[in-house]
Structure 1
Amino acid sequence: MRPTALFMAITVAVTAATTGLFPTTGYAEGSDPYPTCGAQSVAVTLSPSDPTVYTVAGRLCLRDNADRGMKTVELMLSGLTYDHNYFNLSYAPDRYSYVYAATNRGYSTFNIDRLGVGLSDKPPADLLTMQAHAYVTEQIIRKLRAGTIGGQAFSTVVGIGHSLGAGVLQRLAATTTDPAGAPDYLVLSGWLHAGNPPALATLGASLYEASADPTLAPLGLPSGYLTTRPGTRATNFYQLANAESTVISLDESLKQTGTTAERQTLIADRSTTLTLGIRVPVLLSVGALDTLQCATTADLSCATAADIIARESAYYGPQACLTAYSISGAGHSVNMHFNARTSYDSHHTWLDNYTVYQVNAKDANGCLPAP
Structure 2
Amino acid sequence: MRLPVKLTSALFACAVLLGSLTAAVPAEAAAISCADTDLPVTGPGLPPLVPGAPAKVHGRLCLPAGAVPDSVQLLVHGGTYNSAYWDLPYQPERYSYQRDMASHGYATFAADQLGAGGSSRPLSLPLTVQAEAEALHEVIGHLWAGRAGGTSFTKVVIVGHSVGSGVVAVEAGTYHDVDGVILTGITHLPALPVLALGAALGLQPALLDGQLSHLGSDPLYFTTRPGARAGLFYAAGDADPAVIAADEATKDQVSVPGMGTVALFGIVLPATWGITVPVFQVVGEKDVLFCGLLALRDCSSAATLRAQEAPYYRDPSKLSMFVLPGAGHSVALHENAGLYRDATRSWLHDRMGITAQGYHSIG
TM-score, L = length of structure 1: 0.82
Secondary structure in structure 1 of the residue aligned to 2:172: helix
**Map of 1:346 onto structure 2:** 343
Structure 1 residues 2 and 307: alpha-carbon distance in aligned structure 2, compared to 1, 3 A threshold? farther
Q: Which amino acid aligns with 2:143?
A: L
**Gapped runs of 5+ residues in structure 2?**
1-24, 49-53, 356-363
1:347-366 equivalence runs, <5 A:
347-356=344-353
Deviates more, 1:110-119 or 1:314-323: 314-323
Give the C-alpha shift of residue 102 in structure 1. Answer: 1.1
State the distance in 2 between where 1:357 and 1:243 align. 31
State the distance in 2 between where 1:189 and 1:45 align. 26
Q: Are 2:283 and 1:286 equivalent residues in the alignment?
A: yes
State the distance in 1 between where 2:224 and 2:218 align. 16
Structure 1 residues 318 and 141: alpha-carbon distance in aligned structure 2, compared to 1, 3 A threshold? same
**Map of 1:109 onto structure 2:** 108
Q: Which amino acid aligns with 2:274?
A: G
Deviates more, 1:109-118 or 1:324-333: 109-118
Flag as ranges the 4+ runs of structure 1 deviating above 6 A. none
Deviates more, 1:310-319 or 1:153-162: 310-319
Secondary structure in structure 1 of the residue aligned to 2:141: helix
For the aligned residue pairs, the C-alpha RMSD in angstroms reads 2.2
Q: Which amino acid aligns with 1:156?
A: K
| Deviations 1:110-166 (CA, angstroms, capped at 9, x unpaired) | 111111111111110112110001000000001101112211111100111101111
State the distance in 2 between where 1:357 and 1:215 align. 40
State the number of aligned residues.
324
Q: Are 2:243 and 1:247 equivalent residues in the alignment?
A: yes
Secondary structure in structure 2 of the residue aligned to 1:264: helix
State the distance in 2 between where 1:272 and 1:330 align. 27
If each structure's helix is expressed as a fraction of its own residues, which one has the higher value? 2
State the distance in 1 between where 2:205 and 2:330 align. 22
> Percent of aligned pairs with the same residue?
37
Give the C-alpha shift of residue 357 in structure 1. Answer: 7.1
1:15-34 equivalence runs, <5 A:
34=31
State the distance in 1 between where 2:349 and 2:192 align. 36
Structure 1 residues 33 and 303: alpha-carbon distance in aligned structure 2, compared to 1, 3 A threshold? farther
1:269-280 equivalence runs, <5 A:
269=265, 270-280=267-277
Give the C-alpha shift of residue 275 in structure 1. Answer: 1.8
1:278, 1:320 within 8 Å by CA — same for their partners in 2?
A: no
1:1-371 equivalence runs, <5 A:
34=31, 36-47=33-44, 52=48, 53-63=54-64, 69-176=68-175, 179=176, 182-205=177-200, 206-269=202-265, 270-296=267-293, 299-318=296-315, 321-356=318-353
Secondary structure in structure 1 of the residue aligned to 2:268: coil
**Gapped runs of 5+ residues in structure 1?**
4-31, 359-371
State the distance in 2 between where 1:244 and 1:300 align. 26
1:65, 1:107 within 8 Å by CA — same for their partners in 2?
A: no
2:75, 2:110 within 8 Å by CA — same for their partners in 1?
A: yes
Question: Which structure's relative contact order is higher, taking Cα pairs within 8 Å and 6+ residues apart?
Answer: 2
Q: Which amino acid aligns with 2:234?
A: Y
State the distance in 1 between where 2:107 and 2:335 align. 24
* Structure possessing the higher radius of gyration over alpha carbons: 2
TM-score, L = length of structure 2: 0.84
Give the C-alpha shift of residue 356 in structure 1. Answer: 3.7
State the distance in 1 between where 2:38 and 2:164 align. 19
